[in-house]
């Protein structure tokens, strides 16, 4: 760590501005907390509102940084190993969209996995890029999608040598990591950039027992949700760039399209503070986190009807983030949705329930008490369930044939009409239909609504899941492209 990494320039400037008395004739309207609701003050305290400040001269400008924001971003760049870093206040979603806008023009092809987050689809709609989908590796027994494989990327590049970029998810929601170094090498062989949705991997650079970070593996651009696994405030993320395959000016211009012109200073300062924390204490904090994760794995693995996700060491699953705990509950005779409800009733809340699993994020904010409570509550569930393998078929849609007849952008801007479920079959969806969690689209605008897709959506609802993105979450009607 360099001596300069001990600085927190943006946070220090914000604290100084908040402590100086002045007559505020600028937004926000609560004027440093004086006009805020009494209920909010009682809930949050008054100090936070004194720091809810706009882009005052001392606090710099996010879109044209020349002061403390620039300094904070340069410190983050050094910490995370990039050539340039941008702070994001609209979450990783805006970073993913900007990455696509910054590398693809209308009609350009981009190679992406099918199990992308729906923010990628938003990027396709806004950019007009044409997706070339490749299937990720899928474990039918566990009903889990992992990463795309180098072989799948190689085949896609050979079939579409004019593609402008490759995008991959690293790690997946469940912590599975693919062979990113091999994929980066293949991508660079075609002189195009590798874009990485690393939303769940912001901590990888700070401990040797974690998977390699995307930047260290050769990625050209990566987007990280600093708030998901590090110490930033929700919605605060970063975009990192290295190499010369992506024009940084295009990224800056794209971010101006998708970020707020009134960025929240609290979010920006939390990014500066999270960077400082990792630069000065990162390995120490993550060592403690890894110890807690190992304890949790041992406690839960000792229960006879529960199992923990382990790396399969296949081309699509070469490493696992040990701080991501995915527990299979199928042998208990209950679904992950049912187990989730039982745990919530007992004071434990998972990150993600699915049909066969529950996934938990163990981060630097967890304690030994949290881990003990998790193990104890699972032991209670173990002793109160039938302990019989659930027989319901896996709810995967990755093996459902998908046919696209329009680009996402063309379908999104087409004239639409609402039809019944029966009438929707074989029509083109105008909506992004996304079973949740984990937010992976089943149908995108321009894709054919098949009987298999409809049956899958019915199964999701019957199993306790929800559907987002569609105008009728009960699936009695669909919006389709008008004929």
The whole-model pTM stands at 0.94
CB-based contact 179:150 (threshold 8 Å):
yes
What is the spatial distance between Cα 129 and Cα 407, in angstroms, rounded to a whole number? 8
Question: How do 416-420 and 477-481 pair as beta strands?
Answer: antiparallel
CB-based contact 34:48 (threshold 8 Å):
no
HSE toward the beta carbon, residue 276, CA cutoff 13 A: 17
Omega prior to 438 cis, within 30 of 0: yes
What is the spatial distance between Cα 190 and Cα 63, in angstroms, rounded to a whole number? 32
Rg over CA atoms, the chain: 23
Report the alpha-carbon angle 275-231-344, nearest 5.
165
Determine whether 117 is exposed, middle or buried from the number of CB atoms within 10 Å of its CB (0-12, 13-18, 19+). buried
- CA distances from residue 348 to 239, 297, 308, 324 in whole angstroms, order as listed: 32, 16, 18, 16
pLDDT tens for each residue of the chain, 483 residues long: 567 899 999 999 999 999 998 899 999 999 999 999 999 999 999 999 999 999 999 999 999 999 999 999 999 999 999 999 999 999 999 999 999 999 999 999 999 998 888 899 999 999 999 999 998 998 888 888 899 999 999 999 999 999 999 999 999 999 999 999 999 999 999 999 999 999 999 999 999 999 999 999 999 999 999 999 999 999 999 999 999 999 999 999 999 999 999 999 999 999 999 999 999 999 999 999 999 999 999 999 999 999 999 998 999 999 999 999 999 998 998 889 899 999 999 999 999 998 889 999 999 999 999 999 999 999 999 988 776 665 555 556 666 778 889 999 999 999 999 999 999 999 999 998 887 655 577 899 999 999 999 988 888 888 777 888 888 988 899 999 998
Token pair recorded at residue 340:
């989730």
Helix-helix angle 68-80:265-301, to 10 degrees: 30
Domains delineated in the chain: 3-279 (3.40.640.10), 289-384 (3.90.1150.10), 408-481 (3.90.100.10)
Helix-helix angle 9-19:68-80, to 10 degrees: 150
Token pair recorded at residue 211:
């998977």
Question: How do 221-224 and 194-197 pair as beta strands?
Answer: parallel
């Amino acid at each position: 760590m360099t001596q300069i990494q001990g600085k927190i320039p943006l946070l220090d400037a914000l604290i100084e501005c908040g402590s100086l008395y002045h007559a505020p004739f600028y937004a926000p309207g609560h004027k440093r907390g004086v006009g805020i609701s009494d209920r909010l003050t009682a809930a949050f305290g008054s100090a936070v509102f004194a720091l809810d400040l706009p882009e005052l001269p001392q606090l710099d400008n996010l879109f044209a940084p020349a002061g403390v924001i620039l300094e904070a971003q340069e410190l983050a760049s050094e910490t995370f190993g990039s050539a340039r870093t941008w702070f994001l206040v609209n979450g990783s979603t805006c970073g993913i969209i900007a990455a696509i806008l910054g590398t693809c023009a209308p009609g350009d092809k981009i190679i992406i996995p099918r199990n992308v987050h729906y923010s990628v689809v938003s990027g396709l709609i806004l950019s007009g890029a044409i997706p070339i989908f490749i299937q990720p590796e899928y474990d039918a027994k566990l009903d889990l999608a992992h990463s795309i494989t180098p072989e799948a990327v190689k085949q896609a590049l050979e079939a579409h040598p004019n593609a402008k970029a490759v995008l991959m998810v690293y790690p997946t929601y469940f912590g599975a990591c693919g062979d990113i170094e091999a994929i980066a090498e293949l991508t660079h062989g075609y002189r195009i950039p590798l874009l990485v949705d690393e939303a769940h991997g912001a901590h990888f650079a700070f401990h040797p027992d974690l998977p390699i970070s995307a930047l260290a593996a050769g990625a050209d651009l990566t987007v990280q949700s600093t708030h998901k696994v590090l110490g930033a405030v929700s919605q605060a993320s970063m975009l990192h760039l290295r190499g010369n395959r992506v024009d940084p000016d295009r990224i800056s211009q794209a971010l101006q399209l998708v970020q707020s012109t009134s960025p929240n200073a609290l979010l920006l300062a939390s990014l500066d503070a999270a960077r400082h924390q990792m630069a000065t204490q990162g390995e120490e904090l993550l060592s403690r986190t890894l110890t807690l994760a190992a304890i949790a794995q041992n406690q839960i693995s000792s229960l006879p009807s529960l199992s923990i996700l382990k790396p399969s060491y296949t081309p699509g699953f070469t490493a696992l983030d040990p701080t991501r705990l995915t527990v299979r509950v199928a042998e208990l005779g209950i679904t992950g949705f049912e187990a989730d409800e039982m745990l919530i009733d007992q004071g434990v809340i998972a990150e993600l329930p699915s049909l066969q699993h529950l996934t938990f994020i163990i981060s630097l904010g967890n304690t030994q008490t949290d881990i003990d409570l998790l193990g104890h509550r699972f032991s209670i569930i173990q002793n109160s369930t039938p302990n019989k393998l659930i027989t319901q078929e896996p709810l995967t849609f990755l093996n459902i044939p998908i046919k696209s007849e329009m680009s996402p952008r063309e379908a999104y801007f087409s004239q639409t009409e609402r039809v019944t479920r029966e009438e929707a079959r074989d029509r083109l969806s105008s909506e992004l239909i996304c079973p949740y969690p984990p937010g992976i689209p089943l149908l995108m605008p321009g894709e054919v609504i098949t009987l298999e897709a409809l049956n899958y959506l019915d199964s999701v609802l019957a199993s306790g899941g929800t559907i987002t993105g569609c105008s009728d979450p009960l699936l009695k009607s669909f919006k389709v492209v008008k004929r």
